[in-house]
Amino acid sequence: MRRSEIKDGDAEAALAYLCGKAEMDSSFFYKFNIDEESRLVNLFWADSTARMDYACFGDVLAFDTTYRTNAYKKPLVVLVGVNHHHQTVVFRCALLIDESVGTYEWVLETFLDAMMNKKPISVVTDGDKAMCKAIKKVLPDTCHRLCSWHLQRNAFTNGHIKDFSSIFARCMFMRGNEEEFEKVWHEMVANLGLNENRWVTEIYGKRKRWAEAYLRGNFFGGMRTTQRCESMNACLNRFLKIRL
């Protein structure tokens, strides 16, 4: 009874629309999976323009999943990059059931399938733990950078000490080498009494993914944050509203 009620519902309509796009555009790519009850779980699509753009400008990806303004409150993932005019280009979109490691692995593996297995040189993310684990497994040789804006905001939230966030930013963007970074960092921790701060300890362990001293020499196309993803979210918000 339930299946007969949703036969012509949103999932069927979405798949029918994408099927129609694929019939009109031979390079249009879409893929989906279903659960044991034949319910739509994850949906991925990329048109011919996106695939062509990735072939030219797919060295750097920005990957974020903060957007949830659809009626089902599911993450709509937009993966973007930057072209030779420093303009944002969209490489693909995916509507996901959740934000688990397995789901992100499916997204990345499907993405590589759509893009002829061309792997990016570097990826910029907001630091989501599940996302990081998936990237490490599917793209082990890709340089993974954490969003500087998110880190600075977290530093302000977790430091609770005057001047910590400003010194943290200086450590993040300093032009020195690794030894100079280590010296400034340890002096900051000692002077501000942050030896027992859990967040400071954890973020220091990830320093090779956010400190310029360790990232120097890697190509990021001028991107340090996932702001381009968030700008796309703001744009999409004009067209997608939560309606039940």
The three state secondary structure string of 167-183 is HHHHHHHCCCCHHHHHH
Calpha distance 126→62 (Å, rounded): 9
Which pLDDT belongs to residue 6? 47
Give the separation between CA 203 and CA 225, rounded to whole angstroms.
16
For residue range 145-166, what is the model confidence (pLDDT) as tens digits? 999 989 999 998 887 788 899 9
CATH 3.30.420: does it fit domain 2-147+225-236? yes
Predicted pLDDT of residue 76: 84
Q: What's the chain's average pLDDT?
A: 88
**Range(s) within the chain of domains with CATH label 3.30.420:** 2-147+225-236
| Residue 171, pLDDT above cutoff 90 | yes
Stretch 51-63: mean pLDDT: 95
**Residues 5-29, mean pLDDT to the nearest whole number:** 84
pTM assigned to the model: 0.85
Task: Measure the CA–CA gap between 215 and 223, rounded to whole angstroms.
Answer: 12
- Is residue 18 pLDDT above 60, yes or no? yes
Tell me which of 185 and 35 has the higher pLDDT: 185
Give the chain's radius of gyration (CA, Å).
20
Predicted local confidence at residue 241, as pLDDT: 60
d(CA 62, CA 99): 16
Angle at alpha carbon of residue 171, lines to 169 and 177, rounded to 5°: 145
Q: For 88-142, what is each residue's pLDDT tens digit?
A: 999 988 989 888 999 999 999 999 999 999 999 999 998 889 999 999 999 999 9
